[in-house]
Chain A
Amino acid sequence: MADLFKLKVVTPDRIFYDGNVSMVELTTTEGDIGVYANHIPATAIVAPGLLKIHEESGQVQKAALMAGFIEILQEQVTVMAEVAEWPEDIDVKRAEEARIRAERRLKDRYPGTDVMRAELALKRAIVRLETKAK
């Protein structure tokens, strides 16, 4: 059994998660990472992706994580999230609509379309749908 460490996930409105876990997986701007206890101290920027929390009991909790940053210390990991959602918070219909809208915007590329914004919106919608589906 892997060593445990303290994981905190907070958003501006609430403490999203606070507990001892054995591993946490998430997506950063540099790619997917998995963090075990005693990781070297690091700071990274969170990219929209799936947050997987491997709990002490072996259970895996999933959530959608949109933006923020992560501070990794040897004994504690803090995720300062701007938006984080459990699967039950996600509105599939809204996410589906957002995905279609973003895809259309990316396909048509009218002058003046903010491509970065559309891509981010698409990414967020896909992450939401994936989180819900699994």
Chain B
Amino acid sequence: MATMRDIKRRRDSIQSTEQITKAMKLVATVKLQKSRAKAESAKPYFNLMYDTMSSIISKSGAVRHRYLQAGASPKKAVITITSNRGLAGGYNNNIVKLVNSELPAADTMVYAIGRKGRDGLARRGYKIQGDYSEVINDPLYQDAAELTGVLLEAFARGEIGEIYLAFTTFKNTVVHTPKLLKLLPVELPERGQAADGQEPKARAIMDYEPDDETVLDAIVPKYMSSLIYGALLESLASENGARMTAMDSATSNAEEMIEDLSLQYNRARQGAITQELTEIVAGANAIGG
């Protein structure tokens, strides 16, 4: 049986761990509120961007454009959005697992945003083509636009044939789902059909100013950067949510352990006192007898 001193030392150590997890939970909660508000205020733009894009493509008839067709190269690029710091439960690992199950390591190039995902994928033999980990600390639209530029250049040079985006969608504080989205070639709900599955009511063909090629050249990068920016904001909110949940359960686990250890400690103390008393009584009896 552990001695009183051992139990006490262990309890103290758990107590200080609990203090740390509690503090981290509070920090994550505050950050979550901020990042969540940001993600939510940005959401209409991305939904609308997606809808508008769907509507443009569905009305464009048989427009052939390089951004709407897979490139010749079998190589795929994937942007992985994870965090720079750990202690966020399965948040980072989920993205790594998702990428690993969907895209083979041999012909995938990783553009990593977030150190944890970068390291996890590098360990599994993925080639890390670019590292933009500092972006996740404070995502700006500009960052997303820059990354889009880099990727589109590689696409135009024929180095990559498809571009994917792996991020975590934020449903609410406890539900976040990892998601893999194909960015290029632009793939939207069934061409020729509206997003909600209805027959397109406007038969009119979209008119492009000045012409379809120029317009798509300009719009697709904007579409991509806004999707990346939206994914960054959602992932950041998810990260803080995941960390908050993880730290919350760590705190309650610590509390439980402290309770157990306190009980053990008190029992040991009581045992020690009883033993001491028995010894004294026995000693007194021996003298008096």
Enumerate B36-88 residues with CB–CB distance to A below 8 Å: 41-42, 44-45, 48-49, 52, 55-56, 59
User: Given A11-B45, A12-B42, A12-B141, are A30 and B210 neighbors across the interface (CB < 8 Å)?
Assistant: yes
Residues of A within 8 A of B (CB): 8, 10-15, 28-30, 40-45, 68-69, 71, 73-74, 78, 80, 82
User: How many angstroms from the CA of A103 to the CA of B59 in the assembled complex?
Assistant: 42
List the B residue with the shortest CB-CB distance to A75.
Answer: B202
**A–B pairs, 14, beta carbons within 8 Å:** A12-B42, A12-B226, A14-B41, A40-B204, A40-B207, A41-B59, A41-B202, A42-B207, A43-B56, A43-B215, A44-B215, A45-B209, A69-B219, A73-B202
Please give me the 10 A-B residue pairs with the lowest Cβ-Cβ distance, nearest first. A44-B209, A42-B207, A45-B218, A10-B45, A41-B206, A41-B204, A71-B52, A12-B141, A30-B209, A12-B45
**What's the minimum C-beta distance from B191 to chain A, rounded to whole angstroms?**
16
The distance in angstroms between the C-alpha atoms of A80 and B52, with both chains bound, is 9
Question: Contacts A8-B48, A78-B48, A80-B45 hold; do A45 and B219 have CB atoms under 8 A apart?
Answer: yes
Given contacts A12-B141, A30-B209, contact A69 B44 (CB under 8 A): no
Closest B residue to A28 using CB positions = B209
The yes or no answer to B229 lying at the interface (CB within 8 A) is yes
Query: What CA separation (Å) do A71 and B141 show in the bound complex?
Result: 21
Provide the residues of chain A in CB contact with B208, threshold 8 Å: 42-44
In the complex where A10-B44, A12-B45, A69-B219 touch, is A41 in contact with B210 (Cβ < 8 A)? Answer: no
A49 → B minimal CB distance (Å): 14
A69 near B222: Cβ-Cβ < 8 Å: yes
Cβ-defined contact, A80 with B222, below 8 A: yes
Question: Whose C-beta in chain A lies nearest to the C-beta of B230?
Answer: A12
Measured CB to CB, the closest approach of chain A to B192, in angstroms, equals 15
A71 and B56: CB pair below 8 A?
yes
User: Residues on B close to A: CB < 8 A?
Assistant: 41-42, 44-45, 48-49, 52, 55-56, 59, 141, 202, 204-210, 214-215, 218-219, 222, 226, 229
Question: Which of B48, B209, B210, B218 has the largest number of chain A CB atoms within 10 A?
Answer: B209
Q: Which residue of A lies closest to B59 (CB)?
A: A41
**Measured CA separation A41–B200 after assembly (Å):** 13
A104 vs B222: C-alpha distance when bound (angstroms):
30
A68 to B52, CA, bound (A): 12
Report the Cα distance A10→B52, complex, angstroms. Answer: 12
If A10-B48, A45-B214, A69-B215 touch, does A82 touch B205 (CB 8 Å cutoff)?
Answer: no
- List of A residues within 8 angstroms of B214 by Cβ: 29, 45
Q: How far is the CA of A29 from the CA of B156 in the complex (A)?
A: 23
Give chain A residues whose Cβ lies under 8 Å from the Cβ of B48. Answer: 8, 10, 78, 80
Q: Which of A29, A41, A44, A78 has the most CB of B within 10 A?
A: A41
Quick check: B44 and A13 within 8 Å, CB to CB? no
Residue of B nearest to A78 (CB): B52
Apart from A10-B48, A45-B219: 17 A-B pairs, beta carbons within 8 A: A13-B41, A29-B210, A29-B218, A40-B207, A41-B206, A43-B56, A43-B208, A43-B219, A45-B214, A45-B218, A68-B222, A71-B52, A71-B56, A73-B202, A74-B204, A78-B48, A80-B48
Instruction: Decide if A43 touches B45 in the complex (CB within 8 Å).
Output: no
Q: With A8-B48, A80-B52 in contact, is A13–B42 under 8 Å at CB?
A: yes
CB distance from B205 to the nearest CB of A (A): 7
User: CA A85 – CA B44 in complex, angstroms?
Assistant: 18
CA distance A41 to B208 in the complex (A): 9
Instruction: Out of B42, B205, B222, B229, name the residue touching A41 (CB < 8 Å).
Output: B205
Question: Complex Cα distance A8/B52, Å?
Answer: 11
Complex contacts, A8 vs chain B, CB 8 Å: 48
- Tell me the bound Cα distance from A16 to B35 in angstroms: 20
| B residues in contact with A80, CB < 8 Å | 45, 48-49, 52, 222, 226
